[in-house]
Chains A and B, each alone.
Chain A
Amino acid sequence: MSPTLINLSYLVASVLFIFGLKGLTHPRTAVRGNLLGALGMAVAVVATLLAKEIISYQWIILGFVIGGLFGAVLAIKIHMTAMPQLVALFNGFGGGASVLVAGAALLELVIEHKALSTQFTVATAASGLIGAVTFWGSLVAFAKLQELISGNQIIFPGQQAINAIIGAAALGLCGYLVYAPEQTLTYWVLVAVSSVLGILLVIPIGGADMPVVIALLNSYSGLAAAATGFVLSNSVLIISGSLVGASGIILTQIMCKAMNRSLAHVLFGVLGEAGEKASADDVYAGRVKSASAEEVAMLLENARQVVIVPGYGMAVAQAQHAVRDLMNLLESRGTNVEFAIHPVAGRMPGHMNVLLAEADVPYDKLKEMDEINPSLEQTDVAIVLGANDVVNPVARTDPKSPIAGMPIINVDKARTVVVIKRSLSPGFAGIPNPLFAADNTLMLFGDGKKAVLELISALKEAA
């Protein structure tokens, strides 16, 4: 295949990627969009395989088989609750591939004593740096979400200084690589230092900030691919890399806004100002009312408008199917049921929507925070299911709290709030929630799934 034809195929692939992403703007066209993206990838891969530089296929086929099997098995077997760690893992492999491709290109040119342009060396350094940070950062995020290591914030003294020094060292190595690219060892030292940086950047970040981290790493993997595009002077890599980079940055911004945190704060492990924390005893003492499933069922029986606020607790309890049954039962009695989705509910952007979609909850029932908040005052019963910080009114009332200013779902304005939760334990932010002690709140203690099933049977008995 002539280079012109190959480049034209790359153009076709880029256009398919853009149409693919465009398809994702609506659930109806989304499946087709994803297929278009996959088709674009296939076009690019086939065109490359026909390129005249490619003369031996055995390693390629072996790589396809190993990688394809591994990827496919993971993608098919994974539980929807484990989606965030899977995306993190795939993301990491993309970054790792960029490191290796840039390294291979550098080695090849040096071995063959070919001229190295500044564009090539700068891009190689960028690819090594960003790719290694993405690879190791993603692996740490995976390990945290999979609970192979503690999901808590891990902070040690001098952390930021150490990170700054390592970051500076990585940049220095980039400079040296550009200055003396023939010494390919520099590249691998750079990769090693960047790997340490990737680990140190993600280790301090706690579970609550994971949506931001995953979005950010997603962006990095795109930038790594784009940098590899500059290494190889390949337009399809540059275009698709920038698309992914842009998507990751946008999601990162959305997540940060949803938590009222700056990106710098997330990256450097600052979880709000320390401030004075109200102790749980002061907030809850004697004011928490617990209710039985039967009592809550009675409330629901007379409700016209019910809003369910799912949180990660629902995902952990695998309660989404039970919740769907509850919704259907209530709707069959003429109650209007809606779901209020906080942007950072779950562990990656939009995670809660996927879990509810898995349980066949129609997506027009899923309302975003800004859309549902005005209607909460007319809501008879708000059911909070395993959500915590995203409904904590302290964010509105106490400027000293770690979550001050974070937009929340205003369930406290509903006529009655039912909180389904195992205990009064705090959420990610580690602060007590005065909502649990509010006058209009009833606590239904128990495992999310069991509690919802009890509610369903109580409702059925009452009928």
Chain B
Amino acid sequence: MEGLIAAFTIFVLAIFVGFEIITKIPPTLHTPLMSGSNAISGITIIGALISAGSENQFVPKMLGFVAVIFATINVIGGFLVTHRMLEMFRKKD
């Protein structure tokens, strides 16, 4: 139970931090924000790695393997495409 409360505390505090930062992002950058935060949601890759690489039974391991593929697409694609967009905003400085 204590672990749950701790996890829940982190969850709620992180939402507040998120609101504070994200409301300050100007509309010009809303598309990069979306693809960038999307890439961050690929953090599920951590869980995927643990399932795919541990001493698991075959089925959980394969689920983990497919999850690694999915999450890697999300992470690599997300950060790259965000970078591509932001480079366009930068060069006019």
Report A's interface with B, CB cutoff 8 A: 14, 17-18, 20-22, 24-28, 30-31, 33-35, 37-38, 40-41, 44-45, 48-49, 51, 53-57, 59-60, 62-64, 66-68, 70-72, 74-76, 78, 80, 83, 86-87, 90-91, 93-94, 96-98, 100-105, 107-108, 111, 119, 214-215, 218, 221-222, 224-226, 228-248, 250-251, 254, 341, 343, 348-351, 353-354, 357-358, 360, 362-363, 366, 368
Least CB distance from B50 to A in Å reads: 6
Q: Are B30 and A105 in contact (CB under 8 A)?
A: no
Give Cα A59–Cα B59 distance, bound, in whole angstroms: 13
Q: Are A70 and B28 in contact (CB under 8 A)?
A: no
Least CB distance from A145 to B in Å reads: 14
Of the A-B pairs whose beta carbons lie under 8 Å apart in the complex, a sample of 15, sorted by A's number, is: A14-B14, A24-B25, A27-B89, A30-B29, A51-B50, A53-B54, A54-B54, A56-B55, A67-B69, A94-B42, A100-B66, A105-B60, A230-B4, A354-B85, A358-B88
Closest residue to B76 on the A side, CB-wise? A71
What DSSP secondary structure best describes chain B's contact surface?
helix
Q: Top 9 closest A-B pairs, CB basis?
A: A67-B72, A246-B18, A63-B68, A71-B77, A350-B30, A75-B80, A101-B47, A54-B53, A100-B67
Give the number of chain B interface residues (Cβ < 8 Å).
82
Q: Are A27 and B29 in contact (CB under 8 A)?
A: yes
Give Cα A251–Cα B15 distance, bound, in whole angstroms: 14
Q: Are A71 and B29 in contact (CB under 8 A)?
A: no
Extra A-B contacts (20), CB below 8 Å, given A90-B78, A107-B60, A349-B33: A18-B17, A21-B40, A34-B86, A45-B46, A49-B49, A59-B61, A71-B80, A76-B84, A83-B35, A93-B71, A100-B67, A101-B64, A104-B47, A119-B4, A218-B38, A218-B41, A222-B40, A234-B46, A240-B43, A245-B18
Least CB distance from B59 to A in Å reads: 6
Q: Are A246 and B32 in contact (CB under 8 A)?
A: no
Report B's interface with A, CB cutoff 8 A: 3-4, 7, 10-12, 14-15, 17-19, 21-57, 59-61, 63-93
Q: Are B14 and A243 in contact (CB under 8 A)?
A: yes
List B contacts of A66 (CB < 8 A).
69, 72
Give Cα A55–Cα B47 distance, bound, in whole angstroms: 15
Which of these, A108, A228, A248, contacts B60 with CB under 8 Å? A108
Q: Are A37 and B36 in contact (CB under 8 A)?
A: yes
What DSSP secondary structure best describes chain A's contact surface?
helix
Closest residue to A232 on the B side, CB-wise? B47
List A contacts of B15 (CB < 8 A).
242-243, 245-246
Given contacts A18-B17, A97-B67, contact A87 B53 (CB under 8 A): no
Q: Are B37 and A248 in contact (CB under 8 A)?
A: yes
Least CB distance from B66 to A in Å reads: 6
Q: Are A53 and B77 in contact (CB under 8 A)?
A: no
Give Cα A209–Cα B76 distance, bound, in whole angstroms: 28
Give Cα A57–Cα B49 distance, bound, in whole angstroms: 9
Given contacts A67-B71, A234-B46, A237-B43, contact A247 B37 (CB under 8 A): yes
Give Cα A354–Cα B28 distance, bound, in whole angstroms: 8
List B contacts of A240 (CB < 8 A).
14, 40-41, 43
Given contacts A31-B83, A71-B73, A357-B85, contact A48 B35 (CB under 8 A): no
Least CB distance from B20 to A in Å reads: 9
Least CB distance from B18 to A in Å reads: 3
Give Cα A237–Cα B41 distance, bound, in whole angstroms: 8
Given contacts A104-B67, A354-B32, contact A63 B44 (CB under 8 A): no
